[in-house]
């Protein structure tokens, strides 16, 4: 029996998010600059290395694996990776294999993902207005994403919509989005915009729409019942009594959720981040490339988990972006 991953605060690490690429077919304004420079290919973990890495984490007790990016579905050969990961679902070691996507490629891949044992998918969608969608994503087109979501549903995947709350941008669509999700049977989670990347500090503050505010607006139309469901992550949930729908709020800036954190992230270059909001990282690519067996890799993972910090330092409360991270979300994987 191999000992599971337990951090210094007695939190068991059972959830791994892996970014498989830094590239994307969109250029969302809060995530990327218009002219992003992407990493040279040799810096990225190969699909075989990603397999070894994930398999090692599964061997150390990770039960939930979320694939993200960049846009995970634009990585060449990614379906082979999903097919290979499905062996861990079949063995029972992995309880859930899932992904976060912008939805643009779901039309093409939803059925294959379902065949690999994926049951749920998170799709990021901030607006139902085609013009606004094109503005926010710069390169994205709404009809393609809506068709992708439809394909996911047709393939039997449960869809959760993730919406970044953007002041002055999708504020006026709060009820439209909630009603559309209720009608389509999708869960909905709102995310507070986070100070990531190198985009102007002022922009982030300007767009910051606190979810406490959003929630108060929802309560003007619906009866909200607080739910106790926690997933070990930053989301809190309510049920809208009128529709029965569950709505989540991810508020990394106004609430501290760190005490129940069960997750770590690996970037597409093999850097392990023990906390989304801290710079400390561990290089896993070197041990992966150093030898063919996974002994060094396991040692490096354990050493990193032993220094997982207690929490993050994001704070907007002083009207400046404190604790701002220099890396982009597309590197770490949201
Ligand atoms: N491309 C995929 C997508 O858009 O779902 C996966 C990667 S994306 C980086 C993951 C999530 O991060 C998306 O839901 C996106 O909206 C969110 N995100 C990106 N930048 C963000 C920011 N500055 N603040 C809050 N959420 C952000
Ligand atoms: Fe691409 Fe997702 Fe970032 Fe948008 S949020 S640019 S879709 S990685």
Atom number in ligand 1 closest to CA 195: 23
Rounded to whole angstroms, how far apart are CA atoms 21 and 75?
A: 6
CA of 70 to the centre of ligand 2 (A): 6
The first and second tokens of residue 31, run together, are 């995530």
The first and second tokens of residue 32, run together, are 């990327």
Among 232, 228, 235, 237, CA closest to 260? 232
Ligand nearest to the CA of 277: 1
Ligand nearest to the CA of 126: 1
Instruction: Please state whether beta strands 120-124 and 158-165 pair in parallel, antiparallel, or not at all (unpaired).
Output: parallel
Helix (H) or strand (E) holding 4: none
Q: Is residue 28 lining ligand 2, measured as CB closer than 6 Å?
A: yes
Q: Is residue 31 lining ligand 2, measured as CB closer than 6 Å?
A: yes
Which residue numbers in the chain have pLDDT < 70? 1, 195-205, 230-233, 252-257, 313-334
Q: Is residue 298 lining ligand 2, measured as CB closer than 6 Å?
A: no
Looking at every residue in the chain, the average pLDDT score rounds to: 90
- Look at residue 316 in the predicted model and tell me its pLDDT: 46
Q: How far is CA 39 from CA 23, 36, 179, 267, 317, in A?
A: 9, 10, 40, 12, 34
235 phi/psi in degrees, rounded to 5: -85, 140
58, 50 contact by CB (below 8 A) = no
274, 267 contact by CB (below 8 A) = no
Atom number in ligand 1 closest to CA 332: 9
Q: Is 93 exposed, middle or buried (0-12, 13-18, 19+ CB in 10 A)?
A: middle
Instruction: Please state whether beta strands 120-124 and 187-192 pair in parallel, antiparallel, or not at all (unpaired).
Output: unpaired
Predicted structure pTM score: 0.92
**Domains, in order of start, for the chain:** 15-332 (3.20.20.70)
Among 254, 104, 100, CA closest to 163? 100
CA of 302 to the centre of ligand 2 (A): 31
Ligand nearest to the CA of 19: 1
Q: Which strands make up the sheet holding 271-273, listed edge to edge?
A: 224-227, 235-240, 246-250, 187-192, 158-165, 120-124, 96-101, 64-68, 15-19, 263-266, 271-273, 281-283
- Look at residue 235 in the predicted model and tell me its pLDDT: 83
Q: Which of 103, 166, 334 to mutate to test the pocket of ligand 1 (most atoms within 8 A of CB)?
A: 334
Rounded to whole angstroms, how far apart are CA atoms 56 and 54?
A: 5
């Amino acid at each position: 029996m191999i000992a599971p991953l337990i951090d210094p605060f007695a939190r068991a690490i059972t959830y791994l998010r892996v970014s498989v690429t830094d590239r994307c077919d969109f250029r969302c304004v809060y995530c990327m600059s218009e002219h992003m420079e992407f990493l040279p290919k040799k810096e990225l973990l190969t699909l075989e290395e990603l397999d070894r890495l994930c398999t090692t984490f599964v061997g150390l007790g990770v039960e939930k694996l979320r694939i993200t990016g960049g846009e995970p579905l634009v990585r060449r050969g990614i379906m082979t990776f999903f097919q290979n990961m499905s062996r861990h679902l079949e063995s029972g070691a992995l309880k859930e294999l899932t992904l976060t996507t912008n939805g643009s490629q779901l039309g093409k891949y939803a059925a294959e993902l379902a065949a690999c044992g994926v049951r749920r998918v998170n799709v990021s969608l901030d607006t139902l207005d085609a013009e606004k969608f094109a503005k926010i994503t710069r390169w994205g087109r709404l009809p393609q994403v809506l068709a992708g979501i439809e394909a996911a549903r047709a393939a039997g995947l449960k869809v959760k919509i993730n919406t970044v709350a953007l002041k002055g941008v999708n504020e006026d669509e709060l009820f439209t989005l909630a009603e559309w999700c209720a009608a389509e049977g999708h869960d909905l989670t709102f995310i507070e915009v986070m100070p990531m990347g190198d985009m102007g500090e002022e922009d982030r503050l300007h767009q910051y729409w606190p979810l406490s505010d959003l929630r108060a607006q929802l309560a003007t139309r619906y009866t909200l019942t607080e739910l106790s469901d926690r997933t070990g992550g930053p989301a809190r949930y309510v049920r809208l009594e009128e529709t029965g729908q569950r709505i989540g709020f991810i508020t990394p800036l106004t609430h501290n959720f760190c005490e129940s954190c069960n997750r770590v992230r690996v970037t597409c270059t093999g850097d392990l981040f023990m906390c989304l909001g801290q710079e400390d990282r561990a290089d896993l690519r070197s041990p992966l490339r150093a030898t063919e067996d996974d002994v060094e890799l396991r040692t490096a993972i354990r050493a990193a988990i032993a220094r997982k910090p207690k929490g993050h330092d994001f704070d907007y409360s002083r009207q400046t972006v404190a604790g701002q991270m220099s890396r982009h979300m597309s590197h770490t994987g949201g």
